[in-house]
């Protein structure tokens, strides 16, 4: 990640913030708008950050993973399902139910990742097709089970969705959260805090530890790693599964932190957008996080503009239309992939099965 790239990120974020501040400034003080935007941005960037970290673990080890979307969706469903089972059937309190839900989400991400690893490493299936299989399988299974368990007569939950144990409560960072106005930024829910911590942990692991050195080696030149006695397949399996855990935690965001319910297809392309964040962040954790924040800002703008609908001038009427404003992340993704903001280089052996 070069500084120019961070500069571009800062500029885009500043412009998007500026739009909201300009529209809302007569009703709400700019500082309040900015902190509200910041808090929302950090929160909604969570699944993107975790998705991008998932991509980084996989692709640094040389396995392309476009199944992140499916892994997140499956994790969102199974995490939610586990929390409901704990809460409604086994009668646990909401908090332990939610924690079990998060664990179940991470595990189901890992399980789907294991399948992706088997397909791409052992069976040497084209990795993009393998990832597509994961996506389709996740849509099929979650759709079927969602219907079968909740909406069919005679199903376990008797044809109606039981009450979910709610969402994860936010954690106030001591002292910082008490700062007036800006304090809101430090009042975040646990998965968001975990995601930010994982960005820095991943950075350290990748660039300062033996694990990271070996991971990057099998992603750059697997044969070279093999000749110095590194088990390429094992490194790749492990990293893909770790990546699956990241995607799983990202999936938990949707049903355990954001809203207490599941809808088919609710990940809505976030898994794919996080790949764009990973690419724009040049396969580095901190860069990918910064890029996720850009997408987060676009989404935060959409959310925050809802408060100021009446203040939008007639010339800017399109900003009232959530379908139009909602296009921003997708168009941004396509722009990033054109490389007009600077080309990045993937690991040299990314997507290439290793044949001895």
Partner 1 sequence: MTENYMLSEARPEPRRRIETNIVLEAKGITKQFPGVLANDKVNFDLRKGEIHALLGENGAGKSTLMNLIYGLHRPDKGDVIVNGKTAAIHSPNDSISLGIGMVHQHFMLIPVFTVAENVMLGDETIKRGALDRNTVAAKINEISKQYGLDADPNALVGDLPVGLQQRVEIVKTLYRNAEIVILDEPTAVLTPQEAEDLFRIMRDLTARGVSIIFITHKLKEALAIADRITVMRAGRVINTVLPSETDSAQLANMMVGRQVILTVDKKDHEAKEAVLKVENLSVRDQRDLETVHHVSFFVRGGEVLGIAGVQGNGQTELSEALTGLRHPTGGKVFISGHDVTGKPPRVMTETGLAHIPEDRQRHGLVMSYSVADNMALCDYYHPPFSKRGVIQPKALDENARRLISAFDVRTPSPFVNAGKLSGGNQQKVIVARELSRSVKLVIANQPTRGLDVGSIEYIHSVIVKMRDNGAAVLLVSAELDEIMALSDRIAVMYRGQIVAMVETKKSTREQLGLWMAGAHVETA
Partner 2 sequence: MAKSAEQTTSQSHDLRQILRASMDALLVPLLAVLTAMILGGLVIAFAGGNPIYAYLGLFQGAFGSTKALSETAVWATPYIFAGLAVALAFKGGLFNIGAEGQLAFGAVVSALIGYALPDLLGISLPAIIHIPLAVGGGMLAGALWAAIPGALKAYTGGHEVINTIMMNYIALNMTSFLLNAPMKDPNPLNVVARTPSIAESARIPPLFEGFRVHWGFALALLVAFLVWWLLWKTTLGFEIRTVGANPDAAKYAGINVKRTIVLTMALSGLLAGLAGTIEVTALNYRHELGFSVGYGFDAIAIALLGKTHPLGVVIAAILFGAMRNGATRMQFLTQIPVDIISVIQALILLLVAAEAIIRYLYRLRAREERVVLTRGWGG
* Interface contacts to partner 2, rule CB under 8 A: 59, 64, 66, 119, 122-130, 132-133, 135-137, 139-141, 143-144, 146-148, 151-154, 265, 268-269, 272, 275-276, 279, 321, 323-324, 326-327, 330-331, 333-334, 337-340, 343, 345-346, 350-352
**Binding partner selected for residue 216 from partner 2, partner 1, none, CB under the kind-specific 5 to 8 Å limit:** partner 1
Beta carbon nearer to partner 1, 187 or 226 = 226
List C-alpha distances in Å: 92 to 76, 152, 167, 257, 270.
Answer: 20, 25, 15, 18, 31
Residue closer to partner 2 (CB basis): 168 or 278: 278
Residue 171 forms beta bridges with which residues?
188
Spell out a b/e string for 3-18, using b for 16 or more CB atoms within 10 Å of the CB, else e.
eebeebbeebbeebbe
Pairing state of beta strands 171-172 and 187-188?
A: antiparallel
Q: Which does 220 bind (CB under 5 to 8 A by kind): partner 1, partner 2, none?
A: partner 1
Q: Which is nearer to partner 1, 179 or 213 (CB)?
A: 213
Q: Which is nearer to partner 1, 26 or 210 (CB)?
A: 210
Q: Which does 221 bind (CB under 5 to 8 A by kind): partner 1, partner 2, none?
A: partner 1
Which residue, 163 or 223, is less far from partner 1 as judged by CB?
A: 223
151 binds, among partner 1, partner 2, none (CB under 5 to 8 A by kind): partner 2
Question: How is 68-120 classified by DSSP, letter by letter?
Answer: HHHHHHHHHHHHHHHHHIIIIIS---HHHHHHHHHHHHHHHHHHHHHHHHIII
**Closest distance of CB 55 from partner 2, Å:** 10
Compare residues 95 and 334 and give the one whose CB is closer to partner 2: 334
CB 327 within 8 A of CB 350: no
Q: Distance (Å, rounded) from C-alpha 71 to C-alpha 51?
A: 9
- Closest contact distance (angstroms) between CB of 154 and partner 2 is 7
Least distance (Å) from partner 1 to the CB of residue 340? 16
Find all residues with CB under 8 Å of 228, minimum gap 6, and list them: none
Cβ-based neighbour number of residue 88 at 10 Å: 16
Contact footprint for partner 1 (CB under 8 A): 208-210, 213-214, 216-217, 220-221, 223-231, 348, 356
**Residue 350 DSSP symbol:** T
């Amino acid at each position: 990640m070069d500084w120019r790239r961070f500069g571009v990120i800062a500029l885009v974020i500043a412009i998007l913030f500026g739009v909201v501040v300009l529209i809302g400034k007569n009703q709400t003080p700019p500082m309040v708008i900015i902190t509200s935007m910041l808090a929302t941005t950090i929160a909604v960037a969570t699944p993107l950050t975790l998705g991008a970290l998932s991509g980084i673990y996989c692709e640094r080890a040389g396995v392309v993973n476009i199944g992140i979307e499916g892994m997140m969706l499956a994790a969102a469903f199974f995490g939610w399902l586990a929390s409901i089972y704990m809460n409604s059937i086994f009668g646990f309190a909401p908090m332990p139910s939610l924690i079990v839900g998060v664990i179940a989400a991470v595990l189901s991400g890992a399980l789907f990742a294991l399948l992706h690893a088997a397909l791409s490493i052992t069976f040497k299936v084209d990795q993009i097709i393998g990832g597509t299989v994961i996506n389709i399988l996740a849509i099929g299974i979650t759709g079927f089970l969602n219907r079968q368990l909740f909406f069919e007569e005679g199903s376990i939950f008797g044809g109606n969705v039981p009450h979910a144990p709610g969402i994860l409560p936010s954690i106030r960072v001591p002292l910082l959260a008490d700062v007036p106005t800006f304090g809101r930024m430090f009042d975040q829910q646990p998965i968001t805090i975990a995601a930010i911590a994982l960005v820095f942990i991943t950075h350290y692991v990748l660039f300062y530890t033996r694990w990271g050195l070996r991971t990057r080696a099998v992603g750059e030149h697997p044969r070279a790693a093999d000749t110095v006695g590194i088990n390429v397949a094992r490194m790749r399996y492990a990293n893909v599964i770790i990546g699956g855990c990241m995607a799983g935690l990202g999936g938990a965001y949707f049903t355990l932190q954001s809203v207490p319910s599941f809808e088919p297809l609710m990940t809505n392309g976030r898994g794919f957008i996080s790949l764009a964040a990973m690419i724009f962040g040049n396969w580095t954790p901190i860069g990918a996080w910064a890029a996720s924040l850009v997408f987060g800002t676009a989404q935060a703008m959409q959310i925050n503009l809802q408060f100021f609908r009446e203040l939008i001038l007639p010339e800017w009427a399109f900003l009232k239309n959530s379908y139009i404003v909602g296009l921003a992340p997708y168009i941004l993704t396509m722009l990033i992939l054109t490389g007009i903001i600077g080309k990045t280089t993937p690991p040299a052996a990314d997507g290439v099965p290793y044949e001895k």
